[in-house]
Amino acid sequence: MPLAPVGDLLAALRVVAIPMRVPFRGVTTREVALLEGPAGWGEFGPFLEYGPAEASRWLESAVESAWQAWPAARRDTVPVNATVPAVAPERVGEVLARFPGCTTAKVKVAERGQGPDSDAARVAAVREVLGPSGRIRIDANGAWSVVDAQSALARLARYDLEYAEQPCATVEELRDLRLALARNGIDVPIAADESIRKADDPLRVRDLGAADVVVVKVAPLGGVRRALEVVDACGLPAVVSSALDTSVGIAAGVALAAALPALEHACGLGTAALLEGDVVDPPLVPLHGALPVGRVAAAPELLARHTAPPDRVAWWRDRVVACHALMTGGRD
């Protein structure tokens, strides 16, 4: 489908700024732009530090959601995990209470300024709350070296990890870590996230045998259809995750998870609970540990409540123009 003219995108654009309940990956207020098109709503929310080359894939995804129908769903609901930011262990129960019915938790580790003891205490607290049958996955966002990752996972393996998400930054490091863990009898599967969504060639994870699971996000891969193609080509179990989206962006992630041929793991799509507000009423948050499949619509009163300041709206409009120019070679 040809990309809509930039004037149409700007006319449909709404920019919102929503505070986070707790900081997540350094973000305290989540800014995103929303588009309303013929098919419904789409979300354009690349993080502020991303340049046009990376952000343009997010715009492609937003336009797909707003201008096209999503692929057919294979299921009516999608199981989701709780998300535990790098909070003190005494706050773990409070955080998990926002995800009723979720029996899987994703725990942030390797936070800047914290150390292995903080990670272990947080993971231990999650295990205590979830009990022995709950699933725990950790996410290091590529912060560890192979040596540090091996040491950390040897320590955290006692908590029966479902997998470790992006423990090291590069695909080669993930491969080396998997081999080292196997040699040393440390049974922690490896999941690739940034090595999929930020890579020029996401299939190198498959080619190098660098992961057991792939984590896919709709917006960074350019939309639901493109993400389905990546999962199919990788041939590995997939977990669909969000990128601190509002419920509009999460609905696109749910559409991807619903369209996958197989869904073996809970998805990281319960993150609307991390926001102090939303643009959808009611927000797309888990019920009995799952999310329903289907379109959502932004509520005018919530758009008005969370509208970003004029200077930020202008910044996002310029960003859309830059991404659109890159995607079309300057042709409208």
Tokens of 82: 């709780």
Measured N-to-C along each axis, helices 52-67 and 247-259 cross at an angle, to the nearest 10 degrees, of: 80
Distance CA 255, CA 246 (A): 15
217 annotated active-site: yes
> Does 76 count as an annotated binding residue?
no
**Residue whose C-alpha is closest to residue 109's, from 92, 86, 84:** 86
> Does 332 count as an annotated binding residue?
no
Among the residues of the chain, which ranges form H helices? 6-11, 52-67, 92-96, 116-130, 146-156, 171-183, 194-197, 204-207, 218-221, 224-234, 247-259, 300-305, 310-328
- Residue pair 195/175 in contact by the 8 Å Cβ criterion: no
DSSP state of 89: G
Set 57, 108, 127, 178: catalytic member = 108
Distance CA 317, CA 301 (A): 21
DSSP one-letter string for 296-318: ----HHHHHHTBPPHHHHHHHHH
**Residue whose C-alpha is closest to residue 101's, from 82, 75, 83:** 82
Set 217, 226, 265, 319: catalytic member = 217
**Residue 22: which H helix or E strand, with range?**
strand 13-24
> Does 281 count as an annotated binding residue?
no
Q: What share of the chain is helix, strand, coil (3-state, %, to 5)?
A: 40, 20, 35
Distance CA 179, CA 251 (A): 37
Mark the binding-site residues for Mg(2+), compressed into ranges.
Answer: 139, 165, 193
Mark the binding-site residues, compressed into ranges.
Answer: 139, 165, 193
Question: Which residues are identified as catalytic?
Answer: 108, 217
